Amino acid sequence: MTTPAAPALARRYSHLIRFRILCLALLAMAVVASFLFDLTTGPSLFPLEALLGGLFAPSSLDVSQSVILWNVRLPQAVMALLVGGSLGLAGAEMQTVLNNPLASPFTLGVSAAATLGAAMAIAFSIELSGISATYTVPSLAFVFAAAAMLLIQPLVRSYGASTDTVVLFGIAILFTCEALVWLIQFLADADQLQQIVFWSMGSLTRTTWDKIAVVAVVLVVVLPWSMRQAWSLTTLRAGEDQARSVGIPVERLRMLSLLRASMLAAVAVSFVGTIGFVGLIGPHVARLALGEDHRFYLPGSALAGAFILSLASIASKSIIPGLVVPIGIVTALTGIPVFLALVLARRRG
């Protein structure tokens, strides 16, 4: 039997869904706009008309413009979107399953572990059989980030998969890895120390199309996997007891979410170094605009992360004319005030 209020509720729900779809569309348009602006930004003048012509007709560019567009700006701009999207999605899943608004890919020490792997590769000149020297540092960064993820799984199973347990183990791994990185920096010579510090600042300048392909494949695989569990994650936001009452295996859901988040974060930071705050701020922006419905919140977080890192890429090339500031510095400098503004906005809302 239909109650008199049912049609009104149905209309309100329909309006809410259309509003969220509109927000996603606007966010996607903002990502495209920032991507094009990122392509036009840099030490060399590159008008938008020439850039668009070069994208669709590469032969219209001279040799220098072709190199700038296809070997420098386009790879870095695409990598900014992919890494930002990966970190945003990873942060969204972590904040949901850990029920902690401060959770991000760095909470579990994934980034710190990647930095430790990169520092060891640089300081000890490690060579990996079958892997070129170009990929040795990102390969070891990924191995250490993945090892941090694998280490935390048996610990959590042994001591219970509560959110507090996961966060505490993550913090322990974070500080342990940071201490070891400081020890390696203390022992390294001047050249090695410079390389380690530069890697830990985060940079898109090491981007190649091969690296882009790896990050893209992981994101393309993980995003649909996350969307398949959108309803379960939405229900989990109502509380663990509520989720269990409808038959959701909370511990398994949490483990799979952390696995996906760790994969995204490990691959992303292994190629570009440490980039903070994107995985923290992106989900908060998406939550303010789209709410807790994870059908919209998850892709919204990925888009927000891509948008934030694309803007940071533009800023890194614009702050000091003729010089590209490491993008990790830009996100760190801008992340704190933006995060505080978002927290205040939520409290006022």
pLDDT digits (tens, 9 = 90+) for 97-135: 888 787 777 777 878 888 888 889 888 888 777 777 677
Question: What's the token pair of residue 187?
Answer: 């022992």
Which is nearest to 223 in space by CA: 106, 302, 284? 302
Can you list the residues of the chain whose pLDDT is less than 50?
none
- Identify the pLDDT of residue 156: 62
Cα torsion for 276, 260, 269, 200, to the nearest 10°?
50
Secondary structure element (H or E) that encloses residue 323, with its range: none
- Identify the pLDDT of residue 336: 74
- Identify the pLDDT of residue 230: 93
Q: Report d(CA 294, CA 307) in Å as an integer.
A: 19
Q: Report d(CA 152, CA 168) in Å as an integer.
A: 10
- Identify the pLDDT of residue 3: 64
- Identify the pLDDT of residue 49: 80
**Prediction pTM value:** 0.87
> What is each CA distance from 109 to 77, 100, 127, 176, 178, in whole angstroms?
27, 15, 25, 9, 9
Q: Report d(CA 155, CA 258) in Å as an integer.
A: 14
Phi/psi of residue 242, nearest 5 degrees: -60, -45
- Identify the pLDDT of residue 163: 67
- Identify the pLDDT of residue 333: 84
